[in-house]
Structure 1
């Protein structure tokens, strides 16, 4: 085990649950074999709950970061600890931008990651102003191309991968006809600008379920952690999302939530359902051709009749994600 250099310190600022999942394999690796530098975390309450025991003894200060925080500059705790580099999640929250800008002002390098395949400009701007890290870690070349098309400087991004997705192994085939619907706060975040919301997708699934009991068994609803309670159907059978439970289902249906990637890589029939959608497709699995985009009841019936799609291409693309992330951080902390 390498001895940590007390003069080298990495601060990790992690806000959303998806970002916490992204860094989990990294923190597990550091738990098993300490890196050659000290590291501490600042998190939101949701991220802290997700990371659990992995960050015990690693939290820089008591309490949580708020996504709504309007603080600028480093806090006294951060200044006293004096990090050499930052790892920052890329959810588009002001608190993330504030840490990126404080690092730049202090001459400290930062690596910011986006753990999914959409919303690059939205995540990297404050109003009309770009807030860019030293290095922007994206999943793959498709993400780099899409980010560039939104105005992100190509030279600022690197293909890192997605460490969590890299760990997902295919599950044995199942004869289950049960369907798990993955909720999302689409109405809250996008209104009807996409042509649909989570209620439209749920309604279409219910209509097809009633018409085709030969294709669909029990249907369960997994609410998103940020989904308003009044957007969750009152009559839905709730089963909160846990990737370990994918083995119980033959089919997973959602619009563009991250659990669709879990299901796809786990060898489950995965359907991106976007009723009457417009041209904007926020689901990278369908946008990049891994899955068909389902927009009609006829298309949903067809998708339910097909076997699980082959995920070997994406699995190969994700290989080496954790080593790339670790190498990038090692080079940044100890140049």
Structure 2
């Protein structure tokens, strides 16, 4: 079974693992109306916060490189960003599939332009990892690395070095259009960015008309953000305590998660939701094209949205 999303939303120019772009048509109708402050507590690529109507949006994520990149891009003019990317493409002689197909660069559907771009990408990555200051050019290089990197993701090692390998795609017309639409919408939206651990986020200014949306790493799945036990059972319990506290204060919350994945079940999460009489909304999420998911004959993932309203 595959679904097609009918409505068009503002899609993030960042392919953040676990992003909700493909199920926005299911999520948004489950959000309350007349939201004064919307908190995207684990914002990632900002797909949800960008598309939920509210008077004010707070994007929060512990990834400082991510938040700093978003802040830098919104400060620059679109033409400056696009010209900067194209200048790097010319300098490092990357592919341009907006002008030629994969075959022109010796690639195909499976490899894309990865073989053609690999050495060029490594040179750009080295340039970035030794760049002397975090100015506008630094962030243009970073975003170009994301465009040409594996799955268009953002990842740094423990030494703070960008360490993803080359990807299959490049800077085509689709991603350029997505980037421009997203940045225009972001600049027009009343918002702020924060980089707080969810346990230390300040919720005191929220009201009964606010909504805290959580899309944390999932215990039952593996992705670049939690493949090294970055999200533990303690984190899961701590988040549930935070959400219970919000509920006690009369603040609405919505939690995205999976209750079942490859034959495993998140019993802790299920019991918590049931014991507190929270609402569990079943969603359809097709992981077929998600590279971080392992092929398995076990039952598919059961994606849900848990709400206290």
Shorter-chain TM-score range = under 0.3
TM-score normalised over the length of structure 1: 0.25
Higher relative contact order (CA 8 A, sep 6+): 2
TM-score normalised over the length of structure 2: 0.27
